Amino acid sequence: MKGLSVGVDVGGTFSKIGLVAPDGELLRCVSIPTQPRAAPRDFASRVCAVLDGWRYDSLGLGLAGGVDAATGALLFAPNLKRWIGFPFKREFARRLKVRTVADNDANVAVWGGYAVDLKKKPRCVVGVTLGTGVGGGLIIDGKLHHGATGSAGELGHLTVRAGGAPCNCGKRGCLEAYAGTRGICRIARRVMRRPPSPLTPKALADAALAGVPGARKVWDEYGTWLGIGLANAVLLLNPDAILVLGGVARAGRLVLDPVRRVFAAQPFREPFARLALSAPAERDWGCVGAALLSREASS
């Protein structure tokens, strides 16, 4: 088939390798352990082994960390520390002889949602990825915005309550300290008499839908914090749309309803009045976005 692309979503534990059609359909997807303690060249070899026999025109990599677009090297990467500096883009381009791009994993996921779900119609979009951590990506004037050092979109570490809850990054009061997995679990332990065990966002969503006392209150509080963080991004950038992605976004209205309430209560109405807020159905947005992004590249 013509015009297929491969997307590789490289996470700290698992990596997904997907074959993606031009319309964003994921035709095939293989998951492999990342093994971040092994050499990055070994990782490249294992990915190339998976791709043996696949037919595609370009390849995109989404890497969990800050990425230098020219070489595809990680600049910082809390979960892939040993791979910092390795030129992933060049390595894959050399081995596979196809057009290759590399970008941050949240950026490629947001690009996927932007291209497929929003069909690239809005010009300015803020994307947030909700998982263990809170990541983000920005579309400005129809393009991914990388910033001066490729680290734009760090939504999770915006301070929303200076001096507040401790965050994994070392600061206090970051959005992620409230809207990351650790944050929602902390809220659940405070609010619920009997929080589910094991305590996960999925278990909390099931509990809320089953009417377990307190569970909905947990989501209301979680979504309120998320709304405060997203409102900061809206006040700064005044986007046309917000995309909510990532595993926790599957909770759907449990997350979006309190965000909408925060938006409706903003005194500055203009930037919120026609803002589109959506959590598109879960896909491997990282794979899809990385693949589609590689189609955009000029060389």
Shortest distance (Å) from residue 158 CB to a second copy = 4
Nearer Cβ to a second copy (18/153):
153
Compare residues 14 and 268 and give the one whose CB is closer to a second copy.
268
Strands 5-10 and 58-63, by their bridges, are parallel
Give the residue with the Cβ less far from a second copy, 173 or 247: 173
Instruction: Between 35 and 238, name the residue whose CB sits nearer to a second copy.
Output: 238
Contacts 24+ apart (CB under 8 A), 75-84: 75/149, 75/150, 75/151, 76/151, 78/12, 79/11, 79/12, 79/13, 79/36, 80/10, 80/12, 80/34, 80/36, 81/36, 82/36, 82/37, 82/40, 83/36, 83/40, 83/43
Closer of 206 and 220 to a second copy (Cβ): 220
Nearest to residue 244, comparing CAs of 272, 281, 215? 281
What is the closest distance, in whole angstroms, from the C-beta atom of residue 230 to a second copy in the complex?
11
Q: How far is the CB of 160 from a second copy (least distance, A)?
A: 6
How far is Cα of residue 30 from the mean position of the Cα atoms in its chain?
19
Min dist CB 289 to a second copy, Å, is 19
Enumerate residues 6+ apart whose C-beta is below 8 A from 296: 101
In the complex, minimum distance from the CB of residue 166 to a second copy, in angstroms, rounded to a whole number: 12
Beta carbon nearer to a second copy, 176 or 284: 176
- Element (H or E) spanning 205, and its range? helix 201-209
Residues that bind a second copy (CB under 8 A): 66, 75-76, 122-124, 136, 138, 140-141, 145-155, 157-164, 169-171, 173, 225, 228, 231-233, 235-240, 266-271, 273-275
Burial grade of 2 (CB within 10 A; 0-12, 13-18, 19 or more): exposed
Min dist CB 102 to a second copy, Å, is 16
